[in-house]
Amino acid sequence: MARVIKSVGTVKLRDPLDDSFAALVRSITYQQLAGAAAAAIHGRFLKLFADGLTPAAVLALPEATLRSAGLSTSKAVAIIDLARKVNDGTVPLNDVESVSDDDLVERLVQVRGIGRWTAEMFLIFQLRRLDVWPVDDFAIRKGWAIAHRLKDLPTPRALQAEGDIFRPYRTVAAWYCWRATDTVLPA
């Protein structure tokens, strides 16, 4: 890991959005789409909310209106489900500071269209949680193998144990694993 850290430099995470609900909606919208197409659909979707994107505003619109922005049925239903679960407190976005990482992941994966990976990326990039170790992420596994000069990628289970030495800063180690996949490292 020292080679990666020396080659890459200081950790730099992109700025979070101002609103966690908007960040999750964006994640759902962008799933499995190319960047330009996702950005266009997301932009049209946001234009539906002249008074701002909120769970109540989403629930006030029919699914067909959401779909008119270019969302697939499954994405529209997922965003509606997110709005419902934020409204009923299943996903406590107004009080995320008091919820543990594990509990928040458990609550987020109850939302249609949000899996463990999306929940972990939310913790890292939106909430800036420092001890997230997304072992199912292919790039994390690949970056670990590159950093440690391994011939084969570690399994998620094996990588889970390896992350323990980085507690309580596993997010930092994850970031360096990601960077290892797109950095030419010295031999």
Q: For 80, how many CA atoms within 13 A lie in the half-sphere containing its CB?
A: 16
Residue labelled with tokens 């609103």? 19
- Report the alpha-carbon distance of residue 153 to residue 29 in Å, rounded: 30
Asked about 18 being catalytic, the answer comes back as no
- Report the alpha-carbon distance of residue 20 to residue 118 in Å, rounded: 13
- Report the alpha-carbon distance of residue 38 to residue 21 in Å, rounded: 17
- Report the alpha-carbon distance of residue 106 to residue 160 in Å, rounded: 18
- Report the alpha-carbon distance of residue 84 to residue 81 in Å, rounded: 5
Per annotation, catalytic residue among 137, 152, 164, 182? 137
Closest CA to 30 of 101, 118, 109: 118
Stated as kind and residue range, the H or E segment containing 118 is helix 116-121
Closest CA to 8 of 181, 186, 179, 187: 179
Q: Which of the residues are catalytic?
A: 137
